[in-house]
């Protein structure tokens, strides 16, 4: 370990089970000396094993619906009180598509479901940032990260309305990141991760096949949840103070590939 986050305090959204990126990030932050509170929606807390993670990392859990500003305000107030000061890092690892869950094709969406998924997956990030900004809750040179996916830039048909949500998420990071940087010297970035076998990812049709395809396409192979946790730790650390407004591809090189020899061999 490198003690990269010694003395730093934060909030981690979205840890559900040991396969989730937020879970792995919490473990790695703890190992690097950071302290934090864990948060998720009450229903997600009941579904997951977050209590186990809290015990392992000596963290407290604060239930909060990230779509409700009042819940977020309470979360930030409690977090700063529990941790003993302003926040140095935040991970937004939240995503959900009701249309995907219900099997609705992209060309046949239920727009009530679309709006709910957008609110949870994307607008919630703006709400988190706005609460942190208004409360001046971030320390100078703090770092805020949200998790994205390359479907924000390219077509992955079965990723459905989540592609639109990720595009909005990345735009929020740039737009709000400007004000956070200008006013408070705080960084805001998104990490565009490889397809990862989390509970949310596995709800996408053909997900396992696409992981296999991506593994053959990326020269370094897919980045795992633990790989992403390590990258997030680096982005939380003081080593990346001048990185902001970026969508950072963390995908083994997949995003710059046209085709690989391994994929070509599948058609020979």
pLDDT in the model for residue 152: 97
* Distance (Å) of CA 115 to CA 22, 42, 112: 24, 20, 5
Among candidate residues 2, 159, 168, 231, the one labeled active-site is 159
CB–CB of 143/88 below 8 Å? Answer: yes
Q: Which residues of the chain have pLDDT under 50?
A: none
Give dist(CA 196, CA 34) in Å, integer: 25
Structure-token match 């997949």, residue found: 254
- Clarify whether 159 is annotated catalytic: yes
pLDDT in the model for residue 133: 99
Number of domains in the chain: 1
Between CA 189 and CA 198, with CA 193 as vertex, the angle to 5 degrees is: 120
pLDDT in the model for residue 199: 66
pLDDT in the model for residue 268: 84
pLDDT in the model for residue 210: 82
In a domain, residue 4? The reply is no
* Distance (Å) of CA 248 to CA 24, 67, 171, 231, 260: 19, 25, 13, 10, 22
Which segments are annotated as binding site for NAD(+)?
14, 20-21, 94, 166
pLDDT in the model for residue 229: 98
In a domain, residue 170? The reply is yes
Domain of residue 117 covers 9-265
CATH assignment at residue 234: 3.40.50.720
In a domain, residue 3? The reply is no
Among candidate residues 111, 113, 133, 149, the one labeled active-site is 149
Give dist(CA 83, CA 198) in Å, integer: 29
Give dist(CA 236, CA 194) in Å, integer: 20
In a domain, residue 2? The reply is no
**Tokens encoding 137:** 């809750």
Radius of gyration of the chain (CA): 18
In a domain, residue 1? The reply is no
Which segments are annotated as binding site?
14, 20-21, 94, 166
pLDDT in the model for residue 2: 95
In a domain, residue 182? The reply is yes
């Amino acid at each position: 370990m490198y003690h990269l986050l010694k003395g730093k305090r934060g909030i981690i959204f979205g840890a559900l089970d040991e396969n989730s990126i937020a879970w792995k990030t919490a473990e790695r932050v703890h190992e690097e000396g950071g302290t934090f509170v864990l948060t998720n929606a009450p229903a997600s807390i009941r579904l997951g094993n977050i209590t186990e993670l809290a015990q392992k990392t000596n963290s407290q859990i604060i239930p909060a619906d990230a779509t409700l500003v009042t819940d977020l305000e309470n979360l930030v107030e409690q977090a700063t009180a529990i941790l003993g000061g302003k926040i140095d890092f935040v991970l937004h690892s939240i995503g959900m598509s009701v249309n995907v869950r219900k099997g609705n094709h992209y060309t046949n969406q239920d727009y009530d479901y679309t709006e709910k998924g957008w609110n949870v997956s994307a607008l919630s990030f703006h709400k988190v940032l706005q609460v942190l900004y208004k409360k001046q809750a971030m320390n100078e040179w703090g770092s805020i990260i949200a998790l994205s996916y390359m479907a924000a830039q390219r077509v992955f048909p079965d990723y459905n309305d989540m592609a639109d949500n990720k595009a909005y998420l990345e735009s929020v990071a740039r737009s709000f990141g400007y004000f956070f940087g200008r006013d408070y010297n705080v960084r805001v970035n998104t990490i565009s991760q490889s397809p990862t076998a989390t509970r949310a990812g596995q709800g996408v049709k053909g997900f396992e096949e696409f992981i296999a395809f991506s593994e053959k396409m990326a020269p370094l192979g897919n980045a795992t949840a633990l790989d992403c946790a390590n990258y997030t730790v680096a982005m939380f650390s003081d080593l990346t103070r001048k990185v902001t407004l970026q969508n950072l591809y963390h995908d083994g090189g997949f995003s710059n590939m046209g085709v690989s020899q391994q994929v070509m061999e599948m058609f020979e």
